[in-house]
Amino acid sequence: MTETTENYQLDQEEYIINMGPQHPSTHGVLRFEVSLKGEMVRNIRPHCGYIHRGIEKMCEKNTYQQIIHLTDRLDYLSAHSNNELVCLTVEEALEIEVPERVKYIRTIMAELNRIASHQLWWCSMGMDMGGLTCFFYGLRDREPILDIFEETCGGRLLLSYNCPGGVMYDLHPNFQKRVKDYIKYFRKKLPEYDALLSGNIIFLERTKGLGVLTLEDAISFGVTGPTGRASGFSCDIRKTQPYSAYSKVDFKEILYTEGDTFHRYKARIDEMWESMNIIEQLIDNIPEGDYAVKMKPIIKLPAGEYYKSVETARGELGLYLISDGNKSPYRFKLRSPNFINLGALASMVKDTKIADLVAISASLDLVIPDIDR
């Protein structure tokens, strides 16, 4: 049965189970309407909207400085990249060149944020697979990053560190030392992740060859981020349209061709290594200079349409902005990577088991508030 109309006809032995909106493995208020035949998943229909807060609409009523604080709440694990996206769009529209120092700071912070996000994903992936110890290993290593964030800008999760024209405050004097110490520490700790989960025979048996997303599907669904790259879709915005200081660093784009759950997992682990490489290349060379360009208190973008995208930990976050020349945008449309990645889930879970459904959706690394916005 391939049709997914509203009046989906159940087979005689099929039944429907609602996973969510309150369910341990959806990590938020997402509901999967799963039709099952015994243990086998026949069809799945995601229902979103439980945490719709109208962020896009709110953005259309606020000034550009205020919008930044709203975008924190989209994909809260990539708060820095979300902020950065709005700032980059505004700067591009006003044709402001930000100081080199700002570019370096933004890149380092974004990569730290990416590591923290992938760590939390690893925690929840382990937990969804039934290995509860992973959760504490991941949180243990995530904590120092949050401390660095706290020292830099006061926020631990929702940073709001960017502002149009630069960043809010200059770096803390300890910043470089702490980041370097952390990279040294985490290079020792990351192999533990492999020892605990990636090398485990049960984990390998459960993830290898499971939930394959083909390259054609990945491209036609528009799946980006590590999920898309595990299927061989070269979609890293940091490479294809470099922003901030990414053009100055040398890093690999993690690409796999298998597209199964295990390689989505592997892609994220490898990205953590790459992020550490990027930070190491930048941390010693942060140029001196201003940490922000002086901006007018009320920013008005020239009338027109703008599109800018950044690479968050989950994929391409795009912002399509129409300005009519006023102090707030006329239209503020986000291309959310989670929403689009969720669309591909149904094609991956057909004829797998309930346990596989949990593993596959964990490997997509969905953040629900970003789906609903």
Partner 1 sequence: MTFKFLYDFSILTQAIDKAITGSMSPFWAMITEMTIIGVLILAFYAVVGLYLVYAERKVCAFMQNRVGPNRVGPWGFFQTIADLIKLLMKELIPIKAADKLLFNIAPFIVIIAGFMAIAAVPFAKGLHAVDFNIGVFYVMAVSSIGVIGILLAGWSSNNKYSLIGAMRSGAQIVSYELSVGMSLITIVILAGSMQLSTIVEGQHDLWFIFKGHVPAIIAFIVFLIAGTAETNRGPFDLAEAESELTAGFHVEYSGIKFAFFFLAEYMNMFIVASIAATVFLGGWMPFHIPGLEGFNHVMDYIPPFLWYFVKTAFVIFLMMWFKWTFPRLRIDQLLTLEWKYLLPINLFNILLMALMVLMGWYF
Binding site for partner 1 (CB under 8 A): 15, 17, 23-25, 39, 126-133, 135-137, 140, 196-197, 200, 202-203, 205-206, 353-356, 358
Q: Do residues 349 and 343 touch, judged by C-beta distance below 8 A?
A: no
Q: Please say which residue, 203 or 233, places its beta carbon nearer to partner 1.
A: 203
Closest distance between partner 1 and the C-beta of residue 24, in Å? 5
Q: Please say which residue, 127 or 292, places its beta carbon nearer to partner 1.
A: 127
Closest distance between partner 1 and the C-beta of residue 23, in Å? 6
Closest distance between partner 1 and the C-beta of residue 372, in Å? 22
What six digits make up the tokens of 294? 């002086």
The string of DSSP letters for 147-202 reads HHHHHHHS-SSS---EETTEESSPPPTTHHHHHHHHHHHHHHHHHHHIIIIIT-HH
Pairing of strands 304-312, 315-323: antiparallel
Q: Please say which residue, 8 or 320, places its beta carbon nearer to partner 1.
A: 8
For residue 21, cis peptide bond before it (omega within 30 degrees of 0):
yes
Q: Please say which residue, 202 or 298, places its beta carbon nearer to partner 1.
A: 202
Q: Please say which residue, 23 or 327, places its beta carbon nearer to partner 1.
A: 23
CA distance 268 to 261: 11
SS (H, E, C) 270-300: HHHHHHHHHHHHHHCCCCCCCCECCCCCCCC
- Tokens 């399509």 label which residue? 320
Nearest one of 289, 318, 321, 311 to 94, comparing CA atoms: 321
Q: Please say which residue, 129 or 344, places its beta carbon nearer to partner 1.
A: 129
Closest distance between partner 1 and the C-beta of residue 117, in Å? 20
324-346: b or e for each residue (b if 16 or more CB lie within 10 Å)?
eeeebbeebbbbbbbbbbbebbb
Closest distance between partner 1 and the C-beta of residue 275, in Å? 23
Q: Please say which residue, 128 or 274, places its beta carbon nearer to partner 1.
A: 128
Closest distance between partner 1 and the C-beta of residue 79, in Å? 26
Closest distance between partner 1 and the C-beta of residue 366, in Å? 14
CA distance 300 to 35: 50
